[in-house]
Structures are given as C-alpha cells and as structure tokens.
Amino acid sequence: MSRVCQITGKKVISGNNVSHSHAKTKRKFQPNLHTKRFFVPETGKWITLMVSANGIRTINKKGITSALKEAAEKGFYKA
C-alpha cells in the first residue's frame, strides 16, 4: 500500500538535507500515517483506513460518514 492518507490525501514529498556546508542531498518527508479502524454506524461495520494525524482530527471534527464522503469525492478513498 502506498503511503497516502485516505482522508486528506497527504503523501510523501521530497526535499533536501542541508549540511553545515550547505551541501544538499535529496531526502523524503513521510506523512504521519497510522492504520486505524473506525466504526461506521450507518452500515454497522468497521473499516480500516490508513490516515494521517490530521485525517484523524478531521474525522473527529466532521464525523466518519461525511469525512469518507468528502474523501471519495476528492478521489482519496474508494469504497
């Protein structure tokens, strides 16, 4: 599975390590992802999502149903 949040769409980005002499080498910034189970009361089932910490906060704020609906509209989550 790729390292992409299924709610917010956060993914790996690239940047540079910068040394004291300002020599630059490529590096990756990984998103803060967690595999987490959520209960969807409308269906009565548990789903497992790979979500970022920001995605967990979004689910807590909006609710799992509306968060999944918005993620599906944006193409981050496929039911």
Name the pTM for this structure. Answer: 0.87
Cα 76 from Cα 5, distance rounded (Å): 7
- Looking at residue 23, which CATH number applies to its domain? 2.30.170.40
pLDDT higher than threshold 80 for residue 58: yes
Does residue 32 fall inside a structural domain?
Answer: yes
- Quote the percentage of the chain above a pLDDT of 90: 95
Total number of domains constituting the chain: 1
Determine, yes or no, domain membership for 6.
no
- For 41: left if phi > 0, alpha if psi spans -120 to 50, otherwise beta; the answer is alpha
**Chain position carrying tokens 């509306």:** 66
Contact (CB, 8 A) for 31 and 23: no
The answer to whether position 21 is within a domain reads yes
Q: Which residues, 6+ apart, have CB-to-CB distance to 32 below 8 Å?
A: 52, 53, 54
CB 50 within 8 A of CB 7: no
Instruction: Tell me, yes or no, whether 8 lies in a domain.
Output: no
Mean pLDDT rounded to a whole number for the chain: 96
Residue 2 lies in a domain: no
Q: Is residue 5 part of a domain?
A: no
**7-39 pLDDT tens trace:** 999 999 999 999 999 999 999 999 999 999 999
